[in-house]
Amino acid sequence: MDYQFLKYETDERIATIIFNNPARCNAFSSIMRKEFRTAIAKAIDDEDIRVIIVAGAGGKAFSSGYDLNEAVDIDDLSIMDWRKRIADHFDFAHTVWVCSKPVIAQIEGYCLAGAFEFAQMCDIRYCSEDSKFGAVESRFAGGVTTLAMPWIIGARCRELIYTGDTIGANEAKEMGLVNRVFPKDQLRVETMKAAKRISLVAMACLQWNKRAINQTYDIMGFRAATTYGMEACLLLTAMDPPEYKEFNLLRREKGVKEAVNWRDSQFKKYE
């Protein structure tokens, strides 16, 4: 199958799915999300594939998150339209969580907002030493659609979510947000080596271990908690805070770059 915004590669028992729109920092457009669902279903159905790697093309960003250029029509959305949009983002992030095979996020460069959420739903996260992470949506009163971070780093998530601060690779590792940090030129090789080691384990063993681990989280309330986070995101959107209004006005009239510059300028004097 030909993809517009993805690459799909295989190497022995490994499938690598690459977000491929570097000109847009691999932002999660509706087309890319649809293609990803198709690609991961292909990897699941392929009996020769035991491990899936997800990466971003271009070297600058794993992904900047959900495509803000697709939100220009938000003033015309009803609350049910918003629910449908937010639920789609939530389900997209969960595709890697519910995937029956181990999924490794190979993160190079920026991993922000919805992409940061997506990466946290992967089984393992490896990153390059120049990677940057942040729940930056907080800075324009956007909700965290997939609230997995409390389950990974506990109470330390509060500072990241409340401030929208961006952190580097080593701090992310120290917090437990990523498993390992590699030099930029070694990331792909080291990720593949780890994937190859995993792929030597019997498929049934990998699948049942993943099911058991996920069930442990669900028994503790993971699915209920993240679903509540999605509802909180929807309510925040319905409230339409003034920061959100200003960000969207600038985005609509002057473009995403101008809106992001305005957002960041609010915080500069305290950084």
Could you read off the pLDDT tens digit of each residue along the chain, which spans 271 residues? 799 999 999 999 999 999 999 999 999 999 999 999 999 999 999 999 999 999 999 999 999 999 988 765 566 677 788 888 899 999 999 999 999 999 999 999 999 999 999 999 999 999 999 999 999 999 988 889 999 999 999 999 999 999 999 999 999 999 999 999 999 999 999 999 999 999 999 999 999 999 999 999 999 999 999 999 999 998 888 888 888 888 888 888 888 888 888 888 889 889 8
Q: Are 14 and 49 in contact (CB under 8 A)?
A: yes
Q: Give the C-alpha separation, 52 to 38, whole Å.
A: 14
Q: Give the C-alpha separation, 264 to 271, whole Å.
A: 10
Of 139, 84, 87, 148, nearest to 115 by C-alpha is 148
Q: Give the C-alpha separation, 174 to 153, whole Å.
A: 10
Question: 45 exposed, middle or buried (CB, 10 Å; 0-12, 13-18, 19+)?
Answer: exposed
Residues making up the chain, counted from first to last: 271
What per-residue confidence (pLDDT) applies to 138? 93
Fold topology of 6-270: 2-enoyl-CoA Hydratase; Chain A, domain 1 (3.90.226)
Within 10 angstroms of residue 105's Cβ, the number of other Cβ atoms is: 26
Q: Give the C-alpha separation, 156 to 124, whole Å.
A: 19
What per-residue confidence (pLDDT) applies to 187? 98
What per-residue confidence (pLDDT) applies to 250? 85
Q: Give the C-alpha separation, 203 to 47, whole Å.
A: 9
Within 10 angstroms of residue 217's Cβ, the number of other Cβ atoms is: 15
What per-residue confidence (pLDDT) applies to 246? 85
- Report domain extents, the chain: 6-270
Q: Whole-model pTM?
A: 0.94
What per-residue confidence (pLDDT) applies to 55? 98
- Give the chain as a 3 state SS string: CCCCCEEEEEECCEEEEEECCHHHCCCECHHHHHHHHHHHHHHHHCCCCCEEEEEECCCCEEECCECHHHHCCHHHCCHHHHHHHHHHHHHHHHHHHHCCCCEEEEECCEEECHHHHHHHCCCEEEEECCCEEECHHHHHCCCCCCCCHHHHHHHHHHHHHHHCCEEEHHHHHHHCCCCEEECHHHHHHHHHHHHHHHHCCCHHHHHHHHHHHHHHHHHCCHHHHHHHHHHHHHHHHHHCCHHHHHHHHHHHHHCHHHHHHHHHHCCHHHC
